[in-house]
Each structure stands twice: as C-alpha cells, then as structure tokens.
Structure 1
Amino acid sequence: RNESKPLSWDSEWQRCGDSNPHGVYMNIVSNKQEHTNFGEFPWVVGIYKNPNIFLAGGSLIAPKIVLSSAKQLFRLKQLKVRAGDWDIATDNEILPYEEREVQYVLCNDFNIRTNGNDIALLVLKRKFNSAPHIGTVCLPVSGPFDLANCRAIGWNESIGGGRALMISMTMNFTQCAAGTDETLFCAKGHRRTLRYATGSALVCPKSYASANRYYQIGIWSHGDGPRTHIMFTNVTKLLTWIQDILSHI
C-alpha cells in the first residue's frame, strides 16, 4: 500500500507528513530555536470542549480522523477539533483555522491506572479541507526512523506579548522506570515543556530520506518538564488497531 495516502483518504490532499520548514506565506525571525513558522507542521490540531476550552493536542492522520490521547477525552462529549491554528491566543494568522465537530471518540481499552493504551481516534462529522496550512502526518508503517531528530509539537500558554505560538521541542529517548506499561516509551525534552502537550504527536523523519517529512511514532501521554521523563504511547505497537479502525470508516 502507498504510505503517502493513508486509509480514509481524499484525492484532493497532498501526501502525508510533509512539513513547511520556511512556513506558509511567511517566515518569522526569532532567536528561539523552538518557535515554529506558520503552517510548518500542518497536521497539528487542538481539541476543544465547546465552546473554547482547550483539552488536548492531536494530529490529523486522514481528512476526518484525528489521533490523540485517551486520558483527556474518553468520557467527554461535545468536542471540536481546530486545524490550521498557530497562535492559539489570537486570530491574527495569515490564513484562518478551520473547526470540525467530533462525531465520536474510539479508545482501545485505555487503562486509567497504568496509562496503558493511551490512544484515541476522533472521527469528525465533516472532513477538513486541504489547504497549505492543513495536512496530515504519516503513520509509521515502515522505517527505519531518524531517532536523533524526533520532535514533539504543541503549544504553551504564552510566549509573552499576548501570543501563544506553536512550539517544536526536540526529544531524547531514555530508559523508562521498571513496571512501565508496554505500550509506553520514555523521552526527555530540552529547555522547556509544552503546557498543552497531552495528545500531541511525537514525529520523526526517516533515516536516509527527506528530513522534512515526518512519521508519527508516539502520542504524548503524561509527564512534563525538561528534567523529567515524558511518557509517550507507542504508535507502532498500536498501529494494527489504528489501521483496522480506519479500514472500517
């Protein structure tokens, strides 16, 4: 199967995983390495409880399918997903974000005690439209991946000046504590954390391939801070479940 076009696909969309390292229609100048450009990572979405309460991050894996964490979402209703947003504190972007209501949320035997199977698929009522700043991330259907250049992407509350831009944080893989659920792996970030991190994607490029095309290997489950372990759900271990759901939608 062609990995560039996931199941539940639409012919108007470009291939999955392509980032825009110089941004869409603009390139910000910043001395902060973690700051992203507008539209740089077009699969990143925010998940909200109506009307506008931010709950979790997520990733668009097909035009009407979002991948996220179960722990923030598995008992909630009246959710919506926002794609194409960059500064969640303002509406001043060069292109507008889009919102879609969630039809239902699917979980996979999430264990609230161990955080095992901390994964959710959100099926939307309507698909998102393809746009320069709205796209999909690739699932990790094949490797190997460049584990030295993996990053988690999401938002903090504010960077000052009333703005809350999307942040990209490079991750280093570490040993998990004994007894960690087998569906989780551990990593540490650099310098700062992501305030709105739960559900956000951990993505990596492939080894010996484009450094600007990304594949989602993890979902931010829990843990924060640059000096603490962060637990990620292992998307590769749960890929069969994801693909089975997608094949029936």
Structure 2
Amino acid sequence: MRLLVLCISLILGVFGQNEQIDEDTRKKIEEIFPITNNNFAPDLEEVTESTNGSYGAMEQCGEGSTRGLKRCVVYNKCDPKTNTIVEEDVTYGFGQIDIRFGKKECEEPLDVCCKINPNTPTPNPVTPVTPEPVTTPPIVKPSFCGIRNPKGIDFTITGNFDNEAEYGEFPWMVAILNKNYILQGLDKPLVCGGSLITPNVVLTGAHCVYRNKSFDLTVRAGEWDTQTTKERLPYQERNVNQIIVHEEFAPGILHNDVALLILDEAVNKADHIGTICLPSQNAKINSKNCFVTGWGQKDFGKKGKFQSILKKIELPTIDRRICQDALRTTRLTSKFSLHSSFMCAGGEEGKDACTGDGGSPLVCPDPTNAARYVQVGTVAWGIGCGTLNIPGVYGDVAQFRNWIDQKLQRLSISSAPYTV
C-alpha cells in the first residue's frame, strides 16, 4: 500500500511551500493525518511498503511495450469481447474488477487496460477532474421490493478482504448526508445510513436525525464506492422535505428508535436502486443469514480507505431472552430489561455493525421466498464491537409497521413499494 506523509494546508502555510519540514514535525503530522492523495504535498517523501495482496512491480498500461497500443479507460468503455476501446457504453460481460490497493496496470479501481482502436485518436493528457453526479434517469427496473443482487451488477469484485459489498448488491441502501458541512475535503459528510422503502421515503433511526432540520439533509441512493463516480449507473441525491420521528422516541435510552425521511422528489428505480420489503406488524423473522450494511461514518469518502466501498456483514438474529441474558453480563448489570422496541443480532466474534452506520438496515431472507429480503432491524446500539456472545441491538421494524403505514397514509403515500 502506498502511504504518503500528510500535511494540511495550515501547516504548509506556516513552513512555506519551498521549505522542508523537519522529521519530528513530519512524524507528528503522519500520526494525526495518516493518508491523502498523491498531489496534495508534492515536496514530501513517498514511501512504498509491501503489504498483503500487493501486486509488486507491474508495467503501467500505455507505457513501455503497450505505449500507443493500450490505455486505461473506465470499464464500460472497453468491449469485453475484443478488449478494445469503444465510444458507446458497454452493458455486459465485464467480468471481475480488483478493488485492492497496490501496483496495477491502471491506478483507478474501475479503470481497465484496453486496446486503442486504430480509428480512435488518443486524447491529449488532461488534469483529472471529479465529475458532477449525472442526473439523467437510469433505465427503470421492475417494481419489486427486497431484490438483492448477490453477484452485483455489471461486474463482480475480487480483493474484497474487508467485507466489501458487490456493486449494486443492496439497492435499498442509502446514505443520509449533511449538505451544510464539509469534512476534511469530503463532499458531503455522512450522518447515518438508511433504507429506501418507497421511491420518496427513507427509513432510519430516530437517534440519527431527531436533532436535524430537514433542510440540512440530503439522501444519496445508488452509492457504492464513495471515492469514484465512474460506475456506469450514477447515484441519485434528493433533499429531505420532512423528518418524522416516533412520538415516543427516548433519546437517552433509544426506545422507539425509528424515523421516516420524506424526500422532495422520488428517486428513479434502476438496477442499483430499489426498495426493501418490510415485515407485517409483530412478525417474527429468524435467520442465520441476515445482512447489515454501511460505509462507516468516520471514513466515508476518505481517500485511500477501504471503507469508501459499502460494507456488508452477515449476522444471525438472536432470541430476545438470550440477548437480554447476554447483555446482563455486561456493564448494563443483571437488572437490565430489553425494551420491546428492540431486537438483536450478531454475537459472533469480530462481526458487528460497528463498521456500519446508525440507522442502517438489517435485512433477512423472506421466509416465504429466500430470493427476497425483508428489513427486520435498524442499527441502534451495542456494547463493545464484535465481542463473542454479546449481540448488537437494533430497532425492531416489525413493531413499527402499523406506525409507518399510518404516517405515510396521512401523506397519501402508498405502502405497496415495501409490502411483500
């Protein structure tokens, strides 16, 4: 992995761009700000370390023996049959994309080394510019809720050693962002995760949004890798028009931790954007093969971090009594009582929603149709992270189905998009 010593602009201003930074200062900066992009401080020394999964020395695409014959292009501009650059987008046969950091033919994860068409002029080098999100509506897909894409769409990934989800694997997953803050150069800092239950309604945890004003928030659907916009299908962002928090939500203890976000405009359904199904009121769904997803609030969009790609963790649901007994062995003490608005999942060592986001969905296979998923929980709280035999605690979505239906009915919003 390539690590660069990092310096923020304030420090650069103090020392001057043409002065060398002393070694003690360099080490302190590196401890606080571990990584950045290659062009941020060109006067600093670059250090290359050998890591697991690195590629070692490799000739770069378009250099050496491939100069003038090949160049790096985004994956959907390379015909997989002929491995030749094409003008029109390709929508099939992409194969595998390696998401590991390290020496590769192309620096960008979604770029591939492709043969130059003799009839296509080689473009002049240009300074990379981050494109604005495309707002053109993608191709509409059938209106079925809970359809997971276990093999992703467009391509499958390799090098996913940190529970990265496939591209488009969980179409209902959304990021709730605060559009009025910029965090260390990030576009829009992450507030929480959520799930799309209708094209214009997001389900999340009340603890995520009860202090926010609706005009502060925006929702991003169809996101996968927060470091790039090179995916064939763009993400879609919508402003939040209204926040509906459960009337009996208790901020200190998170009872009734549920909220709805009403968007100012419906998102357009596509292969990578869809709704999740909700269980009927008081339904009990038990499974060993549930998934919780999230990006990780700390590292959302941070350059050089695996957390830029959506994570997934497979977890089992846990019986309420077993969960309560387990939590009583912690600092909660033997008098702890698990509120009826909670359910539990996890308890396996090293596997927990701590790498995810509050409000993110916990989904399980539908007992009547294993190909369809139902949201059983929203990430709420936990004791520690990934501790053996200590489950994580989630808002129990089945306890709020009637509440959700009633709130949306008053707004003339149909429950059909999330009904099994």
Aligned residue in 2 for 1:149: 289
Query: Greater Rg, structure 1 or structure 2?
Result: 2
State the Cα distance separating 1:238 from its structure 2 match.
1.1
Mapping of residues 112-191 of structure 1, within 5 Å? 112-141=251-280, 145-156=285-296, 157=299, 161-163=304-306, 164-172=308-316, 173=318, 175-176=323-324, 177=327, 178-188=336-346, 190=348, 191=350
Q: CA deviation at 1:35?
A: 2.0
Greater RCO, CA 8 A, separation 6+: 1
AA at the equivalent of 2:156? N
User: What CA RMSD, in Å, does the superposition of the two structures yield over aligned residues?
Assistant: 2.3
4+ runs deviating over 4 angstroms: none
Which moves more between the two structures, 119-128 or 188-197? Answer: 188-197
Alignment pair present for 1:238 and 2:400: yes
Q: Indicate which of 12, 23, 26 corresponds to 2:152.
A: 23
The structure with the largest strand share of the pair is 1
Distance 1:151 1:189, change over 3 A: farther
Identity %: 33
Q: In structure 2, the residue corresponding to 1:237 is in which secondary structure? A: helix
Q: How does 1:206-221 map to 2 (within 5 A)?
A: 206-207=366-367, 209-210=369-370, 212-221=371-380
Q: TM-score, normalised by structure 2?
A: 0.53
**Aligned partners of 1:100, 1:233: CA distance in 2, in Å?**
25
- The partner residue of 1:91 within 229, 233, 237 is 229
Specify the alignment match of 2:191 in structure 1: 55
Distance 2:402 2:253 in 1: 21
Residue deviations 1:75-102 (CA, integer Å, cap 9, x gap)? 2021000000001233232321100000
1:82 matched to 2:220? yes
Q: Give the alignment partner of residue 360 of structure 2, picking from 184, 193, 200.
A: 200
Which structure carries more helix by proportion? 2
CA–CA separation in structure 1 for the residues paired with 2:293 and 2:396? 16
Shift of 1:33: 7.2
- Indicate which of 60, 63, 68 corresponds to 2:204: 68
Q: Which runs of 5+ in 2 are unaligned?
A: 1-139, 181-187, 328-335, 412-420
Following superposition, the deviation at residue 21 of structure 1 comes to: 1.2
In the superposition, the TM-score normalised over structure 1's length comes to 0.87
Match of 1:3? none
For 2:159 and 2:286, locate their aligned partners in 1 and report how far apart those are by CA, in whole Å: 26
Aligned residue in 1 for 2:93: none
Cα offset, 1:207, TM superposition: 2.5
Instruction: Report the Cα distance in structure 1 between the residues aligned to 2:400 and 2:261, rounded to whole angstroms.
Output: 15
Residue 161 (structure 2) pairs with residue 32 (structure 1) = yes
Post-superposition Cα deviations, 1:89-127, rounded to whole Å, max 9, x if no partner, equal 332323211000000110112101221010000000000
Change (3 A) 1:31 1:107: closer
Q: 1:13 to 1:31 in 2, by over 3 A?
A: closer
- The worse-fitting range, judged by mean Cα deviation, of 65-74 and 147-156 is 147-156
- Specify whether residues 13 and 81 from structure 1 end up closer, same or farther in structure 2 by C-alpha distance, changes over 3 A only: farther
Paired residue type of 1:153: T
Deviation, structure 1 residue 229 = 3.4
2:311 and 2:279 mapped to 1: Cα distance?
22
- The SS at the match of 1:71 is helix
Kindly tell me: are residues 189 and 169 of structure 1, through their superposed partners in 2, closer, same or farther at Cα, counting changes over 3 Å?
farther
